Structure 1
Amino acid sequence: MGFNPLFTILKDNKLTRPNYIEWKRNLDIVLTAEEYKFCTYEPKPEQPAADAPEDEKEYYKRWIKADEMSRCYILAAMSGVLQHQHQSMATASDMLFNLKELFGDQNRAARQVAMKALMNTQMAEGTPVRDHVLKMMSHLNEIEILGAELDGETQIDIILMSLSKSFEQFRLNYNMNKRQYSLAELLTELQAAEGLFRQSVQVYVAEKGSSSKPKGIKKKKKAQTQKAVKAVGVQGGVKKPKGKCFRCKQSGHWKQDCPLPKKTNNTGVPAIQNA
């Protein structure tokens, strides 16, 4: 029988009482890689009748094969004493249930720590959604190993509530359309949504960049405006006169604009002054 190369994880770390949690985690990795894990939580199907549909017969054969291989992996990763205790059990799920009863008393405190880590994990904005979901799935798997029972819908809800605000619309669509996902399907859908978000952001940035005016043009226009104002000031007579008034000897105006009255001679006729 050819085992998955990952089986070396179990072979090098056979089950003993202190390492049950790590051993169960490694077992789940191997069974998941071989696509056998489903038989540990799905009940054994009834043997189909001769005239049963082909898909029903196929599922029965698949379940029996998965259970057989799972039992082999479990027994091969045990000490001799544990093998003797479990080899007569009918299914892999029966073996795992008994092991949980034997070694599960150490799990309570560890389960509380794992649950706290799960509930406190929140996705930071900008984090790849794949990395976050895989981290959440790891927490969920650890909690399951430690004996907590969370149904599939609850697991999905926990992951959705841990997502960043950019996935608010995704959550809304999920609730309004009453979607049903497995963890793998949820990960696929979230990655697709993340791709759409990134495309929208890129388009927005591109459009915003094309609508903005270059800084050089703005500076040039300002310089031209200042030059025009200066020219108007000179040509329009706005410029203040330089020097002093010849009449009052004060600066700031010309002689013809002087506020002082013109000097007169003895005859009362204004004296003629040189400009």
Structure 2
Amino acid sequence: MSPFNPISTILDQNKLEGSNYVDWRRILDIVLTAEEYKFVLHEECPLKPNEQSSDEDKLAYQKWRKADEMARCYIMASMSNVLQHQHQAMLSAFEFLENLKQMFGDQGQSAKQIAMRTLMNTKMVEGTPVRDHVLKMIGLLNELEVLGAEIDNDSQVEMILQSLPDSFQQFCLNYNMNKMSLSLAQLLNELQAAETLVKKASSMALNVEKGSTSKPQGGQKKKKAHKAKAITP
């Protein structure tokens, strides 16, 4: 890998040997995402263009082929020599990873169960920043995706909403009643806005409560003062 690419050095330092499959797969996912090659793992190769194909179709095909070639290079370069030799005949990055999943899938299955358990047990503590909590949840969801779990966007959003404290109950109610559909990034922004409103409402309620409790005390002082005057000869 090129020494001028700081992202690729992550894989250089974490070559796949076999026992480190889960960590390697997670790091590979980060690298392919950063380099914008990850889409070849989820999208099929467009049909090979012919003379009648549009320029757009030709560009789409070339883009996919180039990205797949680069993804395969990253995968191959981050393997041990033994694994490289075993996978030389693989024709696509997807085929590479599917074969590796079959070889080391037991590790991934165990890690997937742990990640899912952690995700379901993670709850936001009242008063802590919603941003930190949502980013943690997104990280766990990404880890599950890397490990092969298939969770659609609506289910991911629902998992995050279920993990929120009571102060976000109105937000969750509005979300479901209005049948909203947000990406995880959009959900994070909306929750941060809701958090600001919750804090303002809480602050106003606290001020009202302080005001209501201070009035009787003032009234009592006045009554005592008035009573004292009445006793004075």
- Return the TM-score normalized by structure 2: 0.81
In structure 2, what is the equivalent of residue 121 of structure 1? 122
1:16–1:78 CA contact under 8 A, matched in 2: yes
Number of residue pairs matched by the alignment: 230
The superposition leaves residues 46-105 of structure 1 with CA deviations (integer Å, 9 ceiling, x where unpaired) of 3566447x5x66655554443333222212211122223334423222211111111102
Q: Classify the secondary structure of the residue corresponding to 1:192.
A: helix
Which residue pairs with 1:26 in the alignment?
27
Report whether the alignment pairs 1:181 with 2:182: yes
For the residues of structure 2 that align with 1:3 and 1:182, how far apart are their CA atoms? 34
Contact 1:4/1:30 (CA < 8 Å) preserved in 2? no
Q: CA deviation at 1:13?
A: 1.3
Q: In the alignment, which residue of structure 2 is the partner of 1:69? A: 70
RMSD after superposition:
3.0
Shift of 1:24: 0.7
Displacement of 1:6 in angstroms is 2.9
Q: Secondary structure at the match of 2:19?
A: helix
Residues 223-234 of structure 1: matches in 2 within 5 Å? 223-231=224-232
Considering fraction of residues, name the structure with more helix.
2
Structure number with greater CO (CA < 8 Å, separation at least 6) is: 2
Which residue matches 2:94? 93
The CA deviation at 1:216 is: 8.3
Residues 7 and 30, structure 1, Cα contact 8 Å, conserved in 2: yes
Q: Per-residue deviation at 1:138? A: 2.2
Per-residue CA deviations over 1:134-172 (Å, capped at 9, x if unaligned) read 211222233233333222222222122111122222222
Report the counterpart of residue 135 of structure 2 in structure 1.
134
SS at match of 1:174: helix
Q: Is the deviation greater in 74-83 or in 140-149? A: 140-149
Please list every run of 5 or more consecutive structure 1 residues that lacks an aligned counterpart in the other structure: 235-275
State the Cα distance separating 1:210 from its structure 2 match: 6.2
TM-score (norm 1): 0.70
Is 2:193 the counterpart of 1:192? Answer: yes
Report what 2:169 is aligned to. Answer: 168
User: Unmatched 5+ residue regions in structure 2?
Assistant: none
Larger Rg: 1
